[in-house]
Structure 1
Amino acid sequence: MKIGESLGLIRERFSSAGIEEAPLEAELLMRHVLKLDAVAFLNNLGRELPSEQERLIDSLAACRLSGKPLAYITGKREFYGLEFVINPSVLIPRPETEHLVEKTLEIASRMRSPAIADIGTGSGAIAISLALNLPQAWIYATDISPEALELARLNARQHKVESRITFLLGDLTAPLPEPVDMLIANLPYVKSLDCATSPEPHLALDGGVEGLDVIERLCGSLHGKLKAGGWVLLEIGQGQEERVKRLLSAALPFAQIGTIKDLAGIERVVWGRIDDIII
């Protein structure tokens, strides 16, 4: 069987199973097994597929069809144009989180040497993306999971920014040693019932009955964590913007509050900025 023929079969199996982005996932799975980049893969579609690799592709495809996310099968995921090592101890980075990174970069680029805290860093995708694009910044990355921090450190080493990120084990803002200029977070915001059967770690997904338990705790922990003129940026789920804005307003009574929409028009980030009053 040729590589292109195998690709067509995997695409069909994924599509029939209702997998979103079936064509892309089929290609990524095959490229992982064949160890080919996108260009080389396309140039080799007419090549015969070795039987050993054909069996491995079939086995991994069956694993994907059983419900295991592709990123946990291949052990990697692209985020903000970068490749990260991923395992089941962390949430799989989502494209919508890139809006959080973009807004942070836009703001931080106007600062001389900002201190930025990524709360609940997981794989380290956000912190590392910021470190690579903000050479003048110092980054703190916190997480309550030792396994997540171990993986984040590995990713930081691979992207050669480990020396510019301080990894801190602990709950939300508690480990931060000093106030920061920007505090950003992609915390659990999924309702408990909606993530009950998810293969991803519930610690990184489950936001409680209404999805806002962890965000509420973060807002309650902001006292003394921001410098004058500091910013908070929080990723949220669909329909949560008004409640999160109220939580942030209560935590930062003198702050400007706003939201940012994603490409689908969904309010995806709530932000707050305090003026010259240190809280």
Structure 2
Amino acid sequence: MTLALAIADAIGRLQAVSDSPRQDAEWLLAHLLGYSRAQLFTRLDHPLPQGDLDRFKALITRRAKGEPVAYLTGEKGFWTFSVAVNSAVLVPRPETELLVEWALEWLKPLASPRVADLGTGSGVIALALTLERPDAHVTGVDLSADALAVARDNAAQLRAQVDWVEADFGEWLLMNGPEHDLIVANPPYIAARDPHLDALRFEPRMALTDGHDGLNALRCIIAHAALRLRAGGRLMVEHGYDQASAVQTLMTEAGFTEVTTRHDLGGQPRATAGLRP
């Protein structure tokens, strides 16, 4: 069987479970063979050895059951770099780059800013901010030791300097420590009864949902963030497409001013920020 036929067969198996079956199949085969996708395209008429075909079919079977491509390849691109990922961390999403872009925009006039990333997971937000702003003092906070192990490995691979703290973000906000110019967070915000959770069953549940209405983590962060922000500091959070109004209200009630929401590339309200007076 040629590479092209193997890909065609895989596409047929993935159409019912993936929005991008061709891309998934090509990424997985390229990963298996150690090729870039460009290299793969120049070899589509080459035969695929039986051993590689068997391994490819095994990967496609796992993908057909809903396992993310990033877990199967062990890596995911984000911002301008790639990171290692496994089932201890969420797969980084493109919409989260909005938070990075907005944070960098706000930090631009500040010298040596102090930034905290709450619920850092694989570390992508903290790492992006550190790589773009080497003068920044960035802290990544996560309750999961396994997630922090992934983040630390990614930082080492990218030669990025981040301080990692194992703590619940509510606990960290109540700790004595320096005030920050910016706190960013991509907390669990999916409601426990949201039907979309089933499609995300391979990812760590504690990073997806608070087990309630999806706002508990956001309530905690917004209620206590001022304790670790300097006057004039800013809080930025990612949230669900239908949570912007609730998050705006929470920030206003917590005393934040200049509360603003931005939309992701899909046109959905995705991140909200407020200023500590």
CA positional deviation for 1:254: 4.8
Structure 1 residue 210 and structure 2 residue 224: aligned?
A: no
Structure 1 residue 201 and structure 2 residue 198: aligned?
A: no
Alignment match, 2:32: 33
Paired AA for residue 265 in structure 1: G
Q: In 1, distance between residues paired with 2:256 and 2:96? A: 27
Are the structure 2 counterparts of residues 28 and 190 from structure 1 closer, same or farther at C-alpha, using a change threshold of 3 Å? same
Paired AA for residue 222 in structure 1: A
**Structure 1: 5+ residue stretches without partners:** none
Q: In 2, distance between residues paired with 1:273 and 1:46? A: 58
Q: TM-score, normalised by structure 2?
A: 0.94
Task: Give the SS at the match of 1:242.
Answer: helix
Structure 1 stretches of 4+ with a deviation exceeding 4 A read none
Alignment match, 1:261: 263
Task: Give the SS at the match of 1:224.
Answer: helix
Counting only pairs closer than 5 Å after superposition, residues 36-115 of structure 1 correspond to structure 2 as: 36-115=35-114
Q: Is the contact between residue 173 and residue 225 of structure 1 (CA under 8 Å) also seen in structure 2? A: no
Structure 1 residue 166 and structure 2 residue 163: aligned?
A: yes
Cα shift readout 1:5-24 (whole Å, capped 9, x = no counterpart): 21122122211x23111111
Paired AA for residue 10 in structure 1: A
Q: In 2, distance between residues paired with 1:255 and 1:79? A: 31
Query: Aligned pair count?
Result: 271
Cα shift readout 1:154-200 (whole Å, capped 9, x = no counterpart): 01001111xx2100011115336311101000000001122653221
Q: In 2, distance between residues paired with 1:168 and 1:67? A: 32
Percent sequence identity over aligned pairs: 33
Alignment match, 2:8: 8
Q: Is the contact between residue 116 and residue 138 of structure 1 (CA under 8 Å) also seen in structure 2? A: yes
Q: In 2, distance between residues paired with 1:270 and 1:254? A: 11
Q: In 2, distance between residues paired with 1:135 and 1:91? A: 25
Alignment match, 1:183: 183
Q: In 2, distance between residues paired with 1:45 and 1:110? A: 50
CA positional deviation for 1:64: 1.0
Task: Give the SS at the match of 1:193.
Answer: coil
Task: Give the SS at the match of 2:139.
Answer: strand
CA positional deviation for 1:208: 3.4
Alignment match, 2:154: 155
CA positional deviation for 1:222: 1.5
Paired AA for residue 86 in structure 2: N
2:245 to 242, 245, 248: 242
1:270 to 260, 269, 272: 272
Q: In 2, distance between residues paired with 1:213 and 1:196? A: 17
Task: Give the SS at the match of 1:89.
Answer: coil
CA positional deviation for 1:76: 1.2
1:226 to 225, 229, 235: 229
CA RMSD of aligned residues (A): 1.4
Task: Give the SS at the match of 1:117.
Answer: strand
Task: Give the SS at the match of 1:181.
Answer: strand
